[in-house]
Amino acid sequence: MAFLATLFANDPMAGQEGEQITLKTTPEFTAYSPGKIETCWATVTMTAPFYEPTNRAEIDLVAVIDRSGSMSGSKIKLVQETLNFVVDQRESPPAIAGSMTSYDN
């Protein structure tokens, strides 16, 4: 069971193919008890058209990295890849100013 919704912006292009924002929700269970209040967990997927802003605001980014034993292996590797991705997304001149600090206990 999935719920699909298409959202349109206040834009003359809205509604045209490729200019839609689509939300898809998939609940944890396919059925729930009627008349009973319960928590419903769902996965939400959003798909949006490509957007290239003309001017991006600069941001200040602070990354606090946990280097303790629980973050070893694939976890710390994923943190490194994520930070590299964020830095690679900056524009020229850099739109990201930031600092990084780490701790291990």
Domain ranges of the chain: 3-47, 59-103
Asked whether the predicted pLDDT for residue 9 surpasses 70, the reply is no
- 3-state DSSP assignment of residue 85: helix
pLDDT for position 32:
82
What pTM value is reported for the model? Answer: 0.42
- 3-state DSSP assignment of residue 82: helix
Q: Which two tokens stand for residue 71?
A: 């973050």
- List pLDDT tens digits, range 18-56: 567 888 888 888 888 888 888 888 888 888 887 776 666
pLDDT for position 1:
46
Residue 102, Cβ neighbours under 10 Å: how many? 13
- List pLDDT tens digits, range 56-101: 667 778 888 888 888 888 888 998 898 888 877 776 665 667 777 8
